[in-house]
A and B are shown apart, each in its own frame.
Chain A
Amino acid sequence: MSSPKRKLFIFLFVAPAFIILMGVVVYPFVYNVVLSFSNMNLRHLKDWHLVGGRQYLKVFTEPTEPNFYIVFLKTVVWTTVNIFFHVVIGVFLALMLNRKIKGKAVYRTLLILPWAIPQYIVALTWRGMFNYEYGSINLVLTKYLNLPAVEWLKSPTEAFLACILTNVWLGFPFMMVVALGALQSIPQELYEAADIDGASWFHKLKNITIPLIRPVMIPAITLGIVWTFNNLNIVWLVSNTGEPSDQTHILVSFVYKAAFNLYRYGYAAALSMIIFVILLFMSLTFARRAKVTEGAY
């Protein structure tokens, strides 16, 4: 093929990629930066103008109820607790599934289900299960465990806990599947050699299993952190827009509310920028720290 023809071909393939990048990365990003320095809201939708860093200042100082710092703290708790349980439950179940047992395929399929269901259905269903009078969680608590019923959705702490429980349920299968894949690639000879040396179960876990599944788990955990930090669906739908009285927000639901319920576009754009920077910084630090400790093995 002649050179101009080849160039045309390359152009035809690169052009869509370029247009997409412009449309879904560069344009929203730049526009969001501009918005974050503007006073745009529902009243100033078309006649907005730049107001400097005022919106950023507002994010940090405005005495909203709840304020930025509390929501940020909640987001950190939300992410840490969720990821911790996702990884622990996921790896634990993967270890069980990796043993030679009957019905492995059935267990595996059943355990993946929470990941397969659309998130909004998960959230709405769990919201129903947390109902005080008729929800099955309270019914199980009172009928079988003789515990008092809990007002899941009416008080801040319990509502937040309800969101976390839902999200833990939803997220462990991903980690389980990733860990199972990693476990299956560990050569069996390593364990046999360890057995000959008389290594205990715990030693094998600590010295063979964990170091060998680490390289696969680290990217998955990084991804998990980003997903969980950014998971709007669960908090928004389980707590029904942050009820009671906006006490159940994490940063992304807080900013979604500012943008689409309160129409504070400039403010929401500034807050989005801040969240983005936090997230970028967090995942970079995590990835780097993981790499540094990797050298220890």
Chain B
Amino acid sequence: MSNHKQKRLYLNILTHAVLVVFAVIAIYPILQIVTVSLRPSDKLLSTSLEIIPEGATFRSYVNLFTTQPFLLWMRNSAIISLTVTVTGVVLASMSGYAFSRFNFIGKKFGMMSLLVTQMFPATMLLLPLYIMLIYLGLINTYLGIIITYTATALPFCIWTMKGYYDTIPASLEEAARIDGCNQFQAFYLVILPLAAPALVITGLFSFMTAWAEYLVAAQILQDTELWTLPLGLKSFESNMSTEWGLYGAASLIVMIPVVVLFLLLSRWLVSGLTLGSVKG
């Protein structure tokens, strides 16, 4: 049996070795951002591979807040992302409920077509909306970008909500009705709290759609006053001279809250994604 034990030991060492290698690959680019953000301004272009650079300084972080409109970008991003989140959650929780509980004409077609939107190339949604925004004079406005982001996020959000409501037995609403709730109260007081995990996923997804989006914003928000964080960060990266220090510092500040949220919720995100498609 010692032979067997030895084999198991070797196998465990091998497993750890493989996992360590991949973990290093997974975090290296992030460490790279940390390194760049800490470099002193005279050593931004360096051929050193040290993680903590020589003469590390928080100067870039200070500059980001004092010399750059970083707080303005953050405010813009926050306004847009939060509005998209609230709109997305409210609309998806209501529509999802309708798709889950009621029968109406075009229900099946509706669900299928929401799924098909996921196969639209980005421009197929973006171009018509963009031209519509031109006609309505909504280019360069918060409203314009909020409409576009909400439209992008909704199909997935409705699917997630619908899939989750399907797992909640209808008998719960019936019981609530017998206890004297009206139909809206039954939805609002009984079903909605039970659907909290799906609401969280929907909220996170809507928020991420707006918080971390560059390509749509680049077309719709041309006025620098309205820039969101992704546009601001991209502006540090230009062909002539990239402001790597500022870019690194800003990237870290932007991604830390999102990464933490994502790690906390990743389990539910996956089950939400696969649940819908397996049952669909």
A interface, over-half SS: helix
Cross-chain contact of A13 among B94, B106, B127, B211 (Cβ < 8 A): B94
Complex: how many Å from CA A118 to CA B33?
13
Q: Is B32 an interface residue (CB 8 A)?
A: yes
Tell me which of A89, A96, A110, A240 contacts B15 (CB under 8 A): A96
Q: Cα distance A109–B16 when bound, in Å?
A: 15
Among B104, B110, B215, B244, the most chain A Cβ lie within 10 Å of the Cβ of B215
From the candidates B154, B215, B247, name the one contacting A236 in the complex (CB within 8 A). Answer: B215
Q: A99–B122 Cα gap in the complex (Å)?
A: 40
> Which B residue sits closest to A283, measured CB to CB?
B119
Which B residues are CB-close (under 8 A) to A112? Answer: 262-263, 266
B133 CB → nearest A CB, Å: 12
Set of chain B residues within 8 Å of A91, measured between Cβ atoms: none
- Interface bin, chain B: 35 or more
Determine if B98 and A35 form an interchain contact, defined as CB atoms under 8 angstroms apart: no
Assembly CA distance A128 to B123 (angstroms): 27
Chain A: which residue is nearest B102 at the CB level?
A10
Give residues of chain A (85-129) contacting chain B, Cβ–Cβ below 8 Å: 89, 93, 96-97, 99, 101, 107, 109-122, 124-129
- Docked-complex contact B278 and A215, CB < 8 angstroms: yes
The residue on A at minimum CB distance from B152 is: A24
Whether B214 and A120, one on each chain, are in contact in the complex, defined by CB atoms closer than 8 angstroms, is yes
Q: Which residues of A contact B134 (CB under 8 A)?
A: 45
Interface contact B26-A251, CB-CB below 8 Å? no
A269 adjacent to B237 (CB under 8 Å): no
- B203 near A: Cβ within 8 Å? no
Proximity bits, B82-100, A CB within 8 Å = 1, else 0: 0000000001001101110
From B42-50, B58-66, B68-76, give the one contacting chain A.
B42-50
Chain A residues 1 to 59 lying within 8 A of chain B, measured CB to CB, are: 1, 6, 9-10, 13-14, 16-18, 20-21, 23-29, 31-32, 35, 40, 45
Instruction: Check B233 for interface membership: any CB of A closer than 8 A.
Output: yes
Interface size class of A (residues with CB under 8 A): 35 or more
Q: Given A21-B110, A32-B124, A232-B215, verify A107-B49 contact (CB < 8 Å).
A: no
Tell me the bound Cα distance from A174 to B270 in angstroms.
8
Q: Contact: B99 with A124, CB < 8 Å?
A: no
Please tell me if A66 contacts chain B, counting CB pairs below 8 Å.
no
The answer on a CB contact under 8 Å between A223 and B122 is: no
Q: What are the residues of chain B within 8 A of A10 when measuring CB–CB?
A: 98, 102, 104
Given A133-B47, A181-B271: A13 in contact with B19 (beta carbons within 8 A): no
When A and B form their complex, which 3 residue pairs have the shortest distance between CB atoms, in order from nearest? A118-B212, A17-B95, A219-B277
A residues near B, CB below 8 A?
1, 6, 9-10, 13-14, 16-18, 20-21, 23-29, 31-32, 35, 40, 45, 89, 93, 96-97, 99, 101, 107, 109-122, 124-129, 133-134, 136, 139-140, 143, 169, 173-174, 177-178, 181, 215-216, 219-220, 222-223, 226, 230, 232-233, 236-237, 240, 251-252, 255-256, 259-260, 265, 268-269, 271-273, 275-276, 279-280, 283
Sampled A-B contacts (8; CB under 8 Å): A10-B98, A17-B94, A17-B158, A118-B254, A120-B214, A216-B274, A252-B122, A276-B124
Binding site for A on B (CB under 8 A): 11-12, 15-16, 18-19, 22-23, 25-30, 32-33, 36, 45-47, 49, 91, 94-95, 97-99, 102, 104, 106, 110, 113-114, 116-132, 134, 151-152, 154-155, 158, 177, 182-184, 208, 211-215, 218-219, 230, 233-234, 237, 239, 242, 244, 247, 251, 254-255, 258-259, 262-263, 266-267, 270-271, 273-274, 277-278
